[in-house]
């Protein structure tokens, strides 16, 4: 991390005590600020051993607006979306309550990142860790869908706010807010969550996931962002131009990295950096 010097780091599976005792103080010395969102259920005893998401940004490049980063709790969304009492609600929540979280924030570009003589520029950054259990593929898709819903909601609410409206009066294209969406999605290329992210919609009859309690049946299976995986832009060739040429010849999923996870029982790509390709340059 010291050598990379990235403007933003989106980390997952960070223990609370590791964030407080190591990541935050170490990265603070390098000029980064950060925030942490712990998972919503305690499975492993002590507070400090529970993991979560951590997002760091360079203070000389970015400044959070709108009161800082929003914490997204999929458990809370599940409870709010499945409010009617009864056995059906109980069955749905028993399947959906998995403790995964996300962070979503809007940042103003500052310092050298800002273009002189132009209205203030902004970017939305989201960081998530989607459920890992392979027996809950319906929950993976549900969490991915509602992450996209929350990102769009936060962006739209900020655009409608006084800050967004003021930028619009200055001539800024506030409605065209770039988005970077990074994390451990625990879904391989070719999966339904991947298709939803990369194409913006999924035909209902194309969904291959089991839906034992009717979770998927209620999903819109769409979003309105033109997302592209950064791996497919700079992956196989390390060259954006070459990969754009390849994109005309093969499906996006085939251009992903061969793996982002390499363990004794699994080798494959589960982690992605998505960005709005119509609003951010390669």
Q: Is residue 136 part of a domain?
A: yes
Helix (H, G, I), strand (E, B) or coil at 44: coil
Percent composition of the chain: helix, strand, coil (DSSP 3-state, to 5): 35, 25, 40
Give the residue, 216 or 170, on which the prediction is more confident. Answer: 216
pLDDT for res 174: 47
Rounded Cα–Cα distance for residues 5 and 126 (Å) = 19
CB 27 within 8 A of CB 56: yes
What is the dihedral sign for C-alpha 22, 24, 28, 32? positive
Q: Is residue 66 part of a domain?
A: yes
Q: How many CA atoms lie within 13 A of 135 on its CB side?
A: 2
DSSP assignment of 13-28, as one string? EEEHHHIIIIIHHHHH
Q: Is residue 134 part of a domain?
A: yes
Does residue 247 carry a pLDDT above 50?
Answer: no
pLDDT confidence tier of residue 83, bands split at 50, 70 and 90: low
Measure the CA angle with vertex 15, ends 139 and 126; round to 5°.
55
Does residue 129 carry a pLDDT above 50?
Answer: yes
pLDDT confidence tier of residue 45, bands split at 50, 70 and 90: low
Q: What is the DSSP letter of 222?
A: B
What does the block give as tokens for 125? 């950054």
pLDDT for res 13: 97
Number of domains in the chain: 1
pLDDT for res 250: 47
CB 10 within 8 A of CB 125: yes
Does residue 143 carry a pLDDT above 70?
Answer: yes
Q: Is residue 245 part of a domain?
A: yes
pLDDT confidence tier of residue 237, bands split at 50, 70 and 90: very low
List, in sequence order, every beta strand (DSSP E) within the chain.
8-15, 32-38, 51-58, 62-64, 70-73, 101-109, 122-129, 179-184, 227-229, 261-262, 267-268, 271-276
Does residue 77 carry a pLDDT above 50?
Answer: yes
- Provide the percentage of residues in the chain whose pLDDT is more than 70: 84
Query: What domain range includes position 157?
Result: 58-276
Q: Is residue 27 part of a domain?
A: no
pLDDT for res 242: 45
pLDDT confidence tier of residue 175, bands split at 50, 70 and 90: low
Q: Is residue 47 part of a domain?
A: no
pLDDT digits (tens, 9 = 90+) for 178-215: 999 999 999 999 999 999 999 999 999 989 899 999 99
Does residue 259 carry a pLDDT above 90?
Answer: no
Minimum mean pLDDT range among 13-27, 80-94, 154-168, 235-249: 235-249
Give the residue, 63 or 84, on which the prediction is more confident. Answer: 63
Q: Is residue 282 part of a domain?
A: no
| CATH number (domain holding residue 173) | 3.60.10.10
User: Per DSSP, what are the bridge partners of residue 229?
Assistant: 274
CB 150 within 8 A of CB 102: yes
Q: What is the DSSP letter of 260?
A: S
Q: Is residue 20 part of a domain?
A: no
């Amino acid at each position: 991390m010291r050598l990379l010097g990235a403007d933003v780091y989106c980390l997952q599976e960070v223990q609370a005590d590791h964030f407080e005792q190591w990541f935050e103080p170490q990265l603070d010395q390098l000029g980064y600020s950060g925030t942490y969102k712990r998972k919503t259920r305690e499975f492993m005893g002590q507070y400090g051993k529970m993991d979560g998401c951590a997002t760091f940004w360079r203070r000389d490049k970015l400044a959070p607006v709108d009161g800082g980063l929003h914490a997204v709790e999929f458990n809370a969304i599940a409870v709010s979306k499945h409010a009617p009492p009864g056995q059906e609600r109980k069955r749905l929540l028993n399947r959906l309550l998995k403790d995964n979280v996300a962070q979503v924030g809007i940042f103003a570009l500052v310092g050298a990142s800002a273009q002189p003589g132009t209205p203030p520029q902004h970017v939305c950054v989201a960081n998530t860790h989607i459920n890992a259990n392979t027996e809950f593929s319906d929950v993976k898709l549900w969490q991915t869908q509602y992450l996209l819903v929350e990102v769009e909601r936060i962006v739209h609410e900020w655009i409608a706010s006084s800050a967004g409206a003021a930028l619009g009066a200055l001539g800024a294209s506030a409605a065209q807010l770039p988005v970077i969406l990074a994390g451990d999605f625990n879904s391989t290329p070719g999966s339904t969550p991947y298709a939803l992210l990369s194409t913006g919609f999924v035909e209902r009859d194309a969904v291959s996931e089991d839906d034992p309690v009717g979770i998927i049946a209620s999903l819109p299976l769409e979003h309105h962002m033109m997302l592209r995986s950064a791996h497919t832009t700079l992956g196989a060739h390390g060259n954006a131009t070459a990969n754009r040429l390849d994109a005309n010849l093969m499906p996006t999923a085939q251009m992903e990295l061969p793996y982002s996870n390499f363990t004794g029982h699994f080798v494959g790509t589960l982690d992605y950096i998505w960005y709005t390709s119509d609003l951010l340059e390669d």
